[in-house]
Protein backbone atom coordinates (compact mmCIF):
# COMPACT_ATOMS: atom_id res chain seq x y z
CA UNK A 1 0.00 0.00 0.00
CA UNK A 2 2.85 2.42 0.85
CA UNK A 3 4.61 1.66 -2.45
CA UNK A 4 1.39 2.42 -4.35
CA UNK A 5 0.99 5.75 -2.51
CA UNK A 6 4.61 6.70 -3.23
CA UNK A 7 4.16 5.88 -6.93
CA UNK A 8 1.10 8.14 -7.09
CA UNK A 9 2.98 11.01 -5.40
CA UNK A 10 6.15 10.83 -7.48
CA UNK A 11 6.58 12.98 -10.56
CA UNK A 12 6.23 11.10 -13.84
CA UNK A 13 7.54 12.25 -17.19
CA UNK A 14 6.61 12.11 -20.84
CA UNK A 15 9.45 12.45 -23.31
CA UNK A 16 8.75 13.41 -26.95
CA UNK A 17 11.68 13.31 -29.38
CA UNK A 18 11.29 14.59 -32.95
CA UNK A 19 13.87 13.22 -35.39
CA UNK A 20 14.13 14.20 -39.04
CA UNK A 21 15.14 11.95 -41.90
CA UNK A 22 18.41 11.47 -43.69
CA UNK A 23 19.34 14.95 -44.90
CA UNK A 24 20.19 13.86 -48.44
CA UNK A 25 17.22 11.66 -49.31
CA UNK A 26 14.60 13.18 -46.95
CA UNK A 27 13.57 9.53 -46.36
CA UNK A 28 13.96 7.15 -43.44
CA UNK A 29 15.74 3.98 -44.51
CA UNK A 30 15.69 0.73 -42.52
CA UNK A 31 19.32 1.18 -41.35
CA UNK A 32 18.55 4.73 -40.23
CA UNK A 33 15.50 3.56 -38.29
CA UNK A 34 17.55 0.71 -36.79
CA UNK A 35 19.98 3.28 -35.34
CA UNK A 36 17.08 5.12 -33.72
CA UNK A 37 15.60 1.87 -32.37
CA UNK A 38 18.93 0.76 -30.89
CA UNK A 39 19.41 4.15 -29.26
CA UNK A 40 15.87 4.09 -27.83
CA UNK A 41 16.30 0.53 -26.53
CA UNK A 42 19.44 1.57 -24.63
CA UNK A 43 18.05 4.90 -23.40
CA UNK A 44 14.51 3.79 -22.50
CA UNK A 45 14.83 0.09 -21.59
CA UNK A 46 11.33 -0.02 -20.04
CA UNK A 47 9.71 0.86 -23.35
CA UNK A 48 8.98 3.51 -25.95
CA UNK A 49 6.84 4.10 -29.02
CA UNK A 50 8.01 5.17 -32.48
CA UNK A 51 5.61 6.86 -34.89
CA UNK A 52 6.61 7.64 -38.46
CA UNK A 53 5.20 10.66 -40.19
CA UNK A 54 5.94 13.75 -42.24
CA UNK A 55 7.62 16.71 -40.64
CA UNK A 56 8.76 20.09 -41.87
CA UNK A 57 12.13 21.60 -41.10
CA UNK A 58 12.76 25.15 -42.31
CA UNK A 59 9.69 24.76 -44.55
CA UNK A 60 10.94 21.63 -46.29
CA UNK A 61 8.94 18.37 -45.92
CA UNK A 62 10.72 15.21 -44.87
CA UNK A 63 9.98 11.83 -43.37
CA UNK A 64 10.21 12.05 -39.63
CA UNK A 65 10.13 9.98 -36.48
CA UNK A 66 8.36 10.84 -33.25
CA UNK A 67 9.58 8.81 -30.30
CA UNK A 68 7.52 8.77 -27.09
CA UNK A 69 8.65 7.45 -23.73
CA UNK A 70 6.86 7.56 -20.38
CA UNK A 71 8.99 7.40 -17.24
CA UNK A 72 8.28 7.01 -13.55
CA UNK A 73 11.44 8.99 -12.73
CA UNK A 74 13.59 11.75 -14.17
CA UNK A 75 16.57 10.84 -16.32
CA UNK A 76 19.31 12.79 -18.03
CA UNK A 77 19.48 11.80 -21.69
CA UNK A 78 21.02 14.90 -23.31
CA UNK A 79 24.48 13.34 -23.81
CA UNK A 80 22.92 10.24 -25.37
CA UNK A 81 20.78 12.46 -27.62
CA UNK A 82 23.85 14.44 -28.72
CA UNK A 83 25.51 11.16 -29.68
CA UNK A 84 22.44 10.08 -31.70
CA UNK A 85 22.35 13.50 -33.39
CA UNK A 86 25.98 13.10 -34.50
CA UNK A 87 25.44 9.50 -35.64
CA UNK A 88 22.41 10.48 -37.73
CA UNK A 89 24.20 13.62 -39.01
CA UNK A 90 21.31 15.82 -37.91
CA UNK A 91 21.57 19.58 -37.46
CA UNK A 92 19.14 19.33 -34.57
CA UNK A 93 16.74 17.00 -32.78
CA UNK A 94 13.81 18.46 -30.86
CA UNK A 95 12.97 17.03 -27.46
CA UNK A 96 10.20 17.85 -25.03
CA UNK A 97 10.18 16.60 -21.43
CA UNK A 98 7.07 17.32 -19.42
CA UNK A 99 5.66 16.15 -16.14
CA UNK A 100 2.68 13.97 -16.76
CA UNK A 101 -0.05 12.18 -14.89
CA UNK A 102 -0.45 8.70 -16.37
CA UNK A 103 -1.15 5.20 -15.21
CA UNK A 104 -0.71 1.81 -16.79
CA UNK A 105 -3.89 -0.27 -16.68
Per the structure, the count of domains in the chain is 1
Q: Kindly state whether residue 105 falls inside one of the protein's structural domains.
A: no
Q: Kindly state whether residue 38 falls inside one of the protein's structural domains.
A: yes
By CB atoms closer than 10 A (0-12, 13-18, 19+), residue 30 is exposed
Determine the structural domain holding residue 86 and report its residue range: 2-100
pLDDT of residue 62: 93
pLDDT of residue 8: 55
As averages over each run of 10 residues, the pLDDT of the chain (105 residues) reads 53 94 91 97 95 91 95 91 95 93 86
Q: What is the CATH number of the domain that holds 85?
A: 3.30.70.60
pTM above 0.75, yes or no: yes
- Which residues have C-beta within 8 Å of that of residue 28, sequence separation ≥ 6? 21, 22, 52, 63, 64, 65
pLDDT of residue 69: 96
Amino acid sequence: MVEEANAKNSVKYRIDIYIGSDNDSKKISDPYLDKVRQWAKETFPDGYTIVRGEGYYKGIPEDSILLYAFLNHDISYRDALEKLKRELKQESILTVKSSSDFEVV
